[in-house]
Each structure stands twice: as C-alpha cells, then as structure tokens.
Amino acid sequence: MKDSRICNAKDFLSALIEKGILVDPKTFEAIKQLFETKKDIASLVANSICDGECKEISSAIIYQKIKFFQARNEKITIKKTAKKTRKDYDAQLTVRKNSEQRGKKDISLFRDYFVSRYDKIKKILMNHLDLNNLVSISNLSFSIRRNTDISIIAIVKEIIEAKTGTILLDVEDKTGFVRVFVKEPDLCKNVITDEVIGISGSYFSGGIIAKKIVFPEIPIPDGINKIDEPLKAVFISDIHLGSKEYIKSIEEKFLKWINKDKQTEDVKYLFIAGDNVDGVGIYPSQKDDLEIENIYDQYSEFEKLIEKIPEEIEIAICPGNHDAVTQFEPQDALDEIYVPNLMNYSNVHLVKNPEYIYLHNNDDADGMKVLMYHGYSFTSIIDVIPELRKRGLSNPEYIMKEVLRKRHLAPLYGSSLINPLKEDLLVIDEIPDIFQTGDLHSHCLKNYKGITLISSSTFQGQTSFMDRVGHIANPGKASIVDLNTRDIFIKNFMQ
C-alpha cells in the first residue's frame, strides 16, 4: 500500500504546479491534514491525481479518492481544529508600580507636586517642533532683545480677559513669572489655569505677545498596538450597587451574557472603572436614595456580582468618588475590610485610581496599555471650557480628548482633591492604547490618534443628584475591544 514518489503535502503541491493542476487553499488544507492523519493513503491519493488527466481538483475529488483507496473499510476523517476559548490562553496582566510617597500635606509638598507636573510635561513639550528658541522666564529680561521671537514652557497661573478682548495669561516656570498677551483669543480658547503649556511669541519689555499656544498633545502614532492572541476585553463602570435606581435587569443580562454568550467566549479581561457601590454620605440627603444603607452590605452585594463572573476572566477594579476609599487622587485601591472575599480570587486585581495596566507585555512583545481613571475631575473641567459646556457631558469623548491634549487627568486645581505627593501621578506620561473613564454616566466608544476612548456606561438610572450636577444617565452599555484586531463593539443591555 506504500508509495514513495510523493510522501508529503509540499511535494504534492509542487507536482500539481508542475502539471498545471489548479487547487484552492481549502482543498490544499484538506490535503495537508490527510498527510498528517493517514500518510500511506495520502500518498496513494496524491499519485493517483498527478497520474490522471484532471486539470483541477476539489475537496470532493479528494474524498472520492480516499474512499477508493481505503483498505478494509477503514474510516478516514479530516480533523477539525477546535476553536480556542479564553480558557486556553494564559492571562498576562501587570500593573505599573509607583513608589509610595505618603507624608504630611504641608506647603512644601504642594510645591514638589507642581514642580513634578511641570518637569514631566516640559519633557513632553520639548519634543515639539513649534517651540523654537526655548528660554527660561528669568532669562527674558537679561539676555533677550526686544521683539525677538522666543518660546517658553510655563504653568498658567491666571487668565484675564481685558476690555479690548485681549486675553492676558499670567504664567510662571521654576525661574520666574511673565505676562503673555494673546490678541487672538482663539489661540487660547481651551487654556485653563494650572496646566502646563508651550508659548511661542515675540518678547518685549512688558511681556510676550503670543503667536502660538502649544499643548503637550498626543503625537500621531506610527502604528496601532495589538496583541497576538485572539482575545477581547470588556469595559464597564459606575455600578452603584445599593442605590434605589440600581437597574437589576442590567446585572442579570450582563451576567448571562458574560457567562454563556458566544460573543464572550474569547473575553479574557474585564475592567470596572469605579463607583462600584453608591456609598454612604456622598452628598446631602443621599440616605433617601439608598436601597441598601449600610456600606458593608453594599460591598457584599458587589462581591456577589463579581463572584458570578467566570474565574478565567481577569478583572481589574479601580475605585471612584462613591467608593469607601480616600477621596484624594490618586485614590487607594479598595480595602480588604470592605471586600474580604475578593482577596481570595487570583483573577481579581484591585487597583488604584488612576492606574496603568499592561496586557501581554513581555520580552517578545510590547502588548497594550490600558489607562483607567474614574473621571471625577471631568465635570469641573467641562464647566470652565465653553466649548465643552455645550456637549461635554453627553459626549464624553470631547473631555477625554482634551485631557489627552493637556496630558493630565486633572489639570485644573480643585477639579479633584489633590494628594500632594512628590510626584504628580495624574500626568499622562505614557500614551495608552485604551483610555477608560466613567463618572459621567454617559457612554462613548471612539478612537483618537490610535487610542481607544471608552467612557463606560452605568448600571444606575437617573437620580435627583445627577439632575443637580447635570449628568444624564445612559445605562446598560458594555464596551468591547478586540485586542487582536482593535475592532470595537457595544453590547446594550437596555434593549
């Protein structure tokens, strides 16, 4: 039964090409599997076809030949490769390590904090080609001639609108202070106090006449980062367990979907961006809005939800302003005292807010970066930028793009409570592949310069507190990112 002329699929393909016999990829794949399963029969089939007069072959002809040469009615089948699911892949999730710098909150620490912000963003701005002839502010009056074109990098201290329409920016760096005159207001329409910007203009004895305002911005990417494995990640936020407006049906549909739906067979990662419970005492008269008044009971219900998610899914959970952690940003991760059961799950990662999380980052691949930030600063920033006031709350992609342009998650002092560490950890010093936020209870799934922007939806309906702060609930949407292709999807549990 043995035939030695053609003994592998490669030789068979060469023989077909030589004889001018056409073969489609699907048929050749069947031939390859036949050589792997029954080499003797495969050789007979191959030689029979090459010795014949046919000009093309199909899978039907292959199976006819198999049947013909089959000895002793032995049944030969072509193996089908079973589709891999998330269980077949190892999780690769790591968290960026930042040094702990707790200490007294005195004035010197605030200075260190803003110096750190300035130094980090200055480093980014120095790569911009628009900033020529960079000088420090202290050198302006000593070594720069009048009407010389110069550039500076500075923190915005104050913004003043003159009666003439000129905008006055009082700015400073580590060496001094100067006033900048912006005669074209559109140049600085999105500038806010406390952010670090670049300014190009003409120097004169009274200050600088601005010709260009340069934001740190996100550079145009060379390419889009992906992972090699065919896996997906799901993003949700603002669950608000314990609220009377908690929508139980969203939870039920979400759990059914994440456990049993074909669309989620390759979901390996789940990111939850804060406000996991509704909290207690977050705003006046909140007690009237609570279904569960005890904070420990709220977290107990949250634990039950998490425990129903398949254990082969890696879950990253950061806090929000409704969670029982310090309100100063960066916020600490959820404490064991509230979620003791979650500490026993190796697939649950309790992280800080904000946090960088790396997926499939190893010696052989860069993988992907996810920047999680609950987004508490966003409402205050929207309030001070007229362009964002028109659409920022219902279209969160605009505020997300703005903080990326400013390369800081809370550039406006007072937009969030500052934990004045020696290093400003809210600077966006690494460019993420995915930027996830929450808080606004709205939803977006967009792209910006190679970054997937996700403002996660909520599990909570409209509340009187949301009415007061101007948030409009858009509940029940899960955002899905295919990490292998970077395709994006939305699953709506309100339908």
371 and 384 belong to one structural domain: yes
> Worst-scoring range by mean pLDDT, 126-130, 137-141, 339-343?
137-141
Q: pTM value?
A: 0.81
Same domain, 150 and 235: no
Range with lowest mean pLDDT among 75-89, 112-126, 178-192, 388-402: 75-89
107 assigned to some structural domain: no
Distance (Å) of CA 318 to CA 18, 295, 323, 326: 62, 17, 9, 12
Q: Residue 72 has what pLDDT?
A: 43
Spatial strand order of the sheet with 348-350 comes to 348-350, 314-318, 267-273, 232-236, 477-482, 488-492
Q: Which residue has the higher pLDDT, 99 or 403?
A: 403
Model confidence at 101, in pLDDT bands (50, 70, 90)? low
Residues 359 and 394 in one domain: yes
Let me know whether 160 and 52 are in one domain. no
Query: Residues with Cβ < 8 Å from 150, sequence gap 6 or more?
Result: 133, 134, 135, 140, 144, 200, 201, 202, 203, 208
Same domain, 196 and 333: no
DSSP per-residue letters across 327-362: SSBSBPPPPTTT-TGGGG-TTEEE--BSEEEEES-B
Percentage of the chain with pLDDT > 70?
92
**Residues with Cβ within 8 Å of residue 162, at least 6 apart in sequence:** 168
At residue 456, the 3 state secondary structure works out as: coil
Same domain, 180 and 233: no
* 208 and 223 co-located in one domain: no
Q: Which is higher by pLDDT, 83 or 211?
A: 211
CATH number at residue 475: 3.60.21.50
- Is it the case that residue 285 has pLDDT exceeding 70? yes
Q: Which among 257, 226, 228, 271 has a CA at the least distance from the CA of 89?
A: 228
Q: Domain check: are 197 and 265 in the same one?
A: no
Both 181 and 296 in one domain: the answer is no
Same domain, 387 and 437: yes
Residue 460 counted as domain residue: yes
Which residues span the domain enclosing 138? Answer: 129-214
Residue after which a domain boundary falls, among 214, 234, 250: 214
**Dihedral, CA atoms, 84, 452, 471, 374, nearest 10 degrees?**
80
Which CATH number is 158's domain given?
Answer: 2.40.50.140
